[in-house]
């Protein structure tokens, strides 16, 4: 798979110890990743809750999620009613694929702030990762009701509809996301949907859908980018590009003609 995707949530630290290997056949090996280890200094007992939270934020940016979690837990020990810190702790857990623990943190955040839209959205991410798309859609719908101006929530909603193969509804959600933030798909499509689309055909259809949406908005550069990806992923109905009305303006672009003439070969799995 050449691209992968993550959802909008608003590598674990690798030990120097060599990874263990379990042989499954004469030619295939399964790598067993080493456990995450801590690299940062332990939280200072004299630091304030705000200082501990800030240090946790810095460590999370550095992808030192286990260390960040230590600091968030230390911050919560001094301010146990902070929904924001519970949400941040949940994100760190989620990024380490500790889904059960992450869910508990997000639920704590919501318990202290019933209108905490980010935490509701992040519960949806857990359901999405488990491919429970219907449950994810319920959480995204709640988050959108709480904060209807968030492009990320609509983008996540589109991903869940796409997972259910409800493509028209997915298009509606992505369209709304683009209306709110024209760059949202560039930040999320590389890291969100395709990881949940094992079929090359589904990934290709996703690429074509985004190309179509961008073309309809007059964003030719992005439309061509996603159209190329659809071609590389082997989209079987690619000739629809000559009849779909959204591509009418793009068809007069010389770059479109060159792309379709070159027809980049599909990248094998």
Mean pLDDT of the chain: 84
What is the percent of the chain where pLDDT is above 90?
70
User: 151-163 and 200-216 are packed helices; what angle lies between their axes, rounded to 10 degrees?
Assistant: 140
CB atoms within 10 A of CB 56: 27
Instruction: With a cut of 50, say whether residue 22 has pLDDT above it.
Output: no
Dist CA 60 CA 49 (whole Å):
16
pLDDT of amino acid 252: 95
With 0-12 CB in 10 A as exposed, 13-18 as middle and 19+ as buried, what is 11?
A: exposed
Residue 36 binned pLDDT confidence (cut-offs 50, 70, 90): low
Q: How far is CA 170 from the centre of its chain?
A: 15
**Dihedral sign of CA atoms 257, 263, 264, 267 in order:** positive
The answer to whether 68 touches 92, Cβ cutoff 8 Å, is yes
Which range is least confidently modeled, 9-18, 22-31, 44-53, 149-158? 9-18
More confident residue, 218 or 26: 218
What does the pLDDT look like over 82-91, one tens digit per residue?
Answer: 999 999 999 9
Measure the CA–CA gap between 251 and 247, rounded to whole angstroms. Answer: 6
19 has pLDDT over 70: no
Instruction: Give the confidence band of 32 by pLDDT, cuts at 50, 70, 90.
Output: low
Q: What is the structure's pLDDT at 23?
A: 38
Detail the DSSP E strand segments found in the chain: 20-23, 29-32
The mean per-residue pLDDT over the stretch 228-253 comes to 94
* pTM to 2 decimal places: 0.78
* Least confident interval from 35-49, 181-195, 201-215: 181-195
């Amino acid at each position: 798979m050449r691209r992968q995707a993550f959802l909008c949530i608003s590598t674990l630290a690798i030990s120097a110890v060599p990874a263990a290997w379990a042989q499954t056949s004469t030619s295939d090996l399964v790598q067993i990743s080493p456990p995450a280890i801590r690299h940062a200094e332990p939280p200072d007992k004299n630091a304030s809750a705000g200082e501990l939270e800030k240090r946790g934020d810095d460590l999370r940016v550095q992808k030192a999620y286990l260390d960040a979690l230590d600091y968030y837990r230390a911050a919560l020990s001094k301010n146990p009613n902070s929904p924001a810190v519970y949400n941040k702790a949940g994100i760190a857990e989620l990024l380490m694929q500790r889904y059960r623990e992450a869910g508990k943190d997000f639920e704590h955040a919501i318990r202290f702030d019933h209108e905490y839209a980010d935490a509701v959205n992040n519960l949806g991410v857990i359901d999405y990762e488990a491919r429970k798309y219907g449950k994810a859609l319920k959480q995204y719908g709640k988050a959108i009701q709480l904060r209807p101006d968030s492009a990320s929530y609509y983008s996540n909603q589109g991903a869940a509809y796409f997972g259910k193969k409800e493509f028209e509804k997915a298009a509606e959600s992505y369209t709304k996301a683009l209306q709110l933030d024209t760059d949202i798909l560039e930040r999320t499509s590389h890291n969100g949907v395709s990881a949940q689309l094992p079929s090359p055909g589904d990934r290709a259809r996703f690429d074509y859908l985004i190309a179509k949406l961008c073309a309809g908005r007059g964003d030719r550069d992005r439309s061509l980018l996603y159209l190329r990806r659809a071609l590389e992923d082997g989209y079987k109905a690619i000739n629809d590009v000559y009849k779909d009305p959204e591509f009418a303006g793009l068809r007069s672009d010389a770059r479109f003609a060159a792309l379709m003439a070159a027809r980049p070969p599909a990248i094998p799995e």
